[in-house]
C-alpha cells in the first residue's frame, strides 16, 4: 500500500508515524510546499525576537522520518488532485500516486485587499521565511503596524515590542474563522499588550497602504488616521489551503469536509488539521479545530483509520486557544 500525505506539519507527521506503527511494509510519502525540514510554527515569534534559532525551532517529531522509512519531499505544492487515477500533480511538474491520501495542507493567511500590493514594507506572518523577513525589516527605524484580529496578531505584537519597536495594532472586530477571543480573556490580553507599550486601534480596519518613500509606508485606516511606518505585519487568520481540490470531486466548504472518522467524500481520501472541516450538527455549522495539539490528535486518528481503524474524533473549542502554543495565550503574552 502507498500512503501519500500532503503537508509536513504536525498532522501530517503524526499520521505518517501512526501508519508506520501499524504497517511496517507500507510505502509512506510526505509532500510539503515548505522548502525546509519540519519546524515548530508556534516558535516563529521567538525567531523574530532572536530568542530561538533555526536549529531550536526544528520539529523533533520530524527529525527521524527517514529512519522510520518515511520519505519527505520538500518544495512540493499540490496543484491538482486526480481521484479517478489516484494521483496528485505538483507545482514543479512532478506527480505522485497513492492508494490512500491524507490532505493535511493547513492554511495560509487571509490577506486583505489593501495589503495585497507588492509593497516592500508588507510582510505576511506565516512561515519561517516570513519570520526571518520580519526580523530583518524590524531592524530598520520607524514604527511597525500589525494587522489582524486574533492570536497571531498578539504574538506579532509581543515579538515586535520585545525588539523595542513602536507598535500599532490595527485590530478588526472579529475573526472570520475559528473562535473569537472575548470577555475577560480578551480584556486581560489587550491590557497586557497595551502595558507593553503597543497602541491598539480596536475595531479598525485598513483602507489603503501606499509607499511614501524607500523608508516609509503610510497606512490609512477606515477612521481616517494615517500611520507612517517601516513595517506592516499581516497577522490574520489562516484560511484552509484547499484551492487545489477544485474540480476533484472532494467536497469542500471553508475547509475539506470530513466525517467523524476524518474521511472525505471519497473513501480513500482523508483530511486532518487546520484544513479539515467537521459538521457541527447541534449548531448547524462547520467547525475547524485549529491548533497544534488538535492537529496532532487528528493526524494520529487519521493515520489509524487510513490503516484500517474505525475511530471517531472528539474535538472541542478549547483546542483552538488553550493548547495552541502549549499553554494559555494569556500566560504566553506575559512572557
Q: What is the pLDDT of residues 208-219, one digit of tens each?
A: 999 999 899 999
Locate 80 and state its grid cell. 491538482
Locate 321 and state its grid cell. 486557544
Is 163 inside a domain boundary? yes
Is 333 inside a domain boundary? no
Q: Does residue 247 share a domain with residue 202?
A: no
The span from the CA of 17 to the CA of 292, in Å, is 16
The span from the CA of 256 to the CA of 278, in Å, is 8
- The domain of 182 spans 109-238
pLDDT at 175: 59
pLDDT: which is higher, 279 or 10: 10
Of the listed ranges 30-39, 51-60, 106-115, 189-198, the one predicted with least confidence: 189-198
Single residue among 212, 238, 264 that ends a domain in this structure: 238
The CB-side HSE value for 137 (13 A sphere, CA atoms) comes to: 27
Single residue among 214, 238, 262 that ends a domain in this structure: 238
Is 329 inside a domain boundary? no
pLDDT: which is higher, 39 or 173: 39
Q: Does residue 255 share a domain with residue 194?
A: no
Q: Does residue 118 share a domain with residue 94?
A: no
Q: Does residue 232 share a domain with residue 113?
A: yes
Q: Does residue 63 share a domain with residue 149?
A: no
Is 131 inside a domain boundary? yes
Is 335 inside a domain boundary? no
DSSP reduced 3-state for 151 = helix
Average pLDDT over residues 186-210: 84
Q: Does residue 202 share a domain with residue 149?
A: yes
Q: Does residue 63 share a domain with residue 133?
A: no
DSSP 8-state assignment for residue 331: H
Is 332 inside a domain boundary? no
Query: Do residues 270 and 258 lie in contact, with contact meaning Cβ atoms separated by under 8 Å?
Result: yes
Q: Does residue 249 share a domain with residue 214?
A: no
Look at residues 49, 278, 288, 64 and name the one whose alpha carbon lies nearest to residue 165: 49
Look at residues 41, 29, 18 and name the one whose alpha carbon lies nearest to residue 324: 41
Of the listed ranges 97-106, 140-149, 162-171, the one predicted with least confidence: 162-171
Number of folded domains in the chain?
Answer: 2
Look at residues 306, 310, 311, 313 and name the one whose alpha carbon lies nearest to residue 19: 306
Look at residues 34, 25, 1 and name the one whose alpha carbon lies nearest to residue 13: 34
Q: Does residue 179 share a domain with residue 220?
A: yes
Query: Do residues 104 and 6 lie in contact, with contact meaning Cβ atoms separated by under 8 Å?
Result: yes
At residue 208, what are phi and psi to the nearest 5 degrees?
-155, 150
pLDDT at 186: 63
Residue 94 has pLDDT above 90, yes or no: yes
Q: Does residue 245 share a domain with residue 224?
A: no
Is 334 inside a domain boundary? no
Q: Does residue 258 share a domain with residue 233?
A: no
- 331, with CB counted inside 10 A (0-12, 13-18, 19+), is exposed
pLDDT tens track for 318-332: 444 333 333 333 343
Q: Does residue 222 share a domain with residue 276?
A: no
Confidence label for 221 from pLDDT (cuts 50, 70 and 90): very high
Is 88 inside a domain boundary? yes
pLDDT at 184: 63
Single residue among 238, 257, 282 that ends a domain in this structure: 238
What's 21's domain CATH number? 3.50.50.60
Annotate 186-253 with DSSP letters as a single string: HHHHHHHHHHTT-EEEET--EEEEEE-SSS-EEEEETTS-EEEESEEEE--PEEE--GGGTTSS--BS
The span from the CA of 241 to the CA of 246, in Å, is 11
Amino acid at each position: 500500500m502507498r500512503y501519500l500525505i500532503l503537508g509536513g506539519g504536525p498532522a501530517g507527521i503524526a499520521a505518517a508515524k501512526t501508519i508506520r506503527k501499524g504497517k511496517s511494509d507500507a510505502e509512506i510519502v510526505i509532500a510539503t510546499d515548505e522548502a525546509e525540514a519540519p519546524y515548530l510554527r508556534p516558535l516563529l515569534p521567538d525567531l523574530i525576537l532572536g530568542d530561538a534559532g533555526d536549529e531550536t525551532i526544528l520539529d523533533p517529531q520530524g527529525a527521524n522520518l527517514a529512519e522510520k522509512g518515511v520519505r519527505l519531499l520538500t518544495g512540493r505544492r499540490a496543484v491538482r488532485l486526480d481521484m479517478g487515477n489516484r494521483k496528485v500533480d505538483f507545482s514543479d511538474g512532478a506527480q505522485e500516486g497513492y492508494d490512500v491520501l491524507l490532505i493535511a495542507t493547513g492554511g495560509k493567511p487571509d490577506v486583505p485587499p489593501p495589503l495585497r500590493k507588492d509593497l516592500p514594507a508588507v510582510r505576511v506572518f506565516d512561515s519561517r521565511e516570513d519570520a526571518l523577513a520580519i526580523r530583518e525589516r524590524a531592524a530598520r527605524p520607524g514604527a511597525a503596524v500589525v494587522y489582524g484580529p486574533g492570536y497571531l496578531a498578539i504574538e506579532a505584537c509581543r515579538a515586535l515590542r520585545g525588539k523595542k519597536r513602536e507598535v500599532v495594532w490595527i485590530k478588526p472586530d472579529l475573526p472570520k474563522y475559528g473562535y473569537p477571543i472575548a470577555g475577560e480573556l480578551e480584556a486581560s490580553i489587550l491590557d497586557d499588550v497595551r502595558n507593553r507599550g503597543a497602541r491598539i486601534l480596536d475595531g479598525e480596519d485598513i483602507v489603503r497602504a501606499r509607499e511614501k518613500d524607500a523608508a516609509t509606508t503610510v497606512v490609512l485606516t477606515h477612521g481616517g488616521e494615517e500611520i507612517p511606518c517601516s513595517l506592516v505585519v499581516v497577522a490574520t487568520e489562516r484560511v484552509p489551503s484547499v484551492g487545489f481540490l477544485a474540480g476533484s470531486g472532494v467536497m469542500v466548504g471553508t475547509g475539506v469536509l470530513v466525517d467523524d472518522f476524518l474521511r472525505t467524500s471519497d473513501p480513500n481520501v482523508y483530511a486532518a488539521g487546520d484544513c479539515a472541516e467537521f459538521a457541527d450538527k447541534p449548531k448547524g455549522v462547520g467547525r475547524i479545530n485549529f491548533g497544534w495539539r488538535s492537529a496532532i490528535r487528528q493526524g494520529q486518528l487519521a493515520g489509524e483509520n487510513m490503516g484500517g481503524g474505525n475511530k471517531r474524533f472528539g474535538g472541542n473549542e478549547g483546542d483552538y486557544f488553550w493548547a495552541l502554543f502549549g499553554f494559555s495565550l494569556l500566560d504566553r503574552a506575559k512572557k
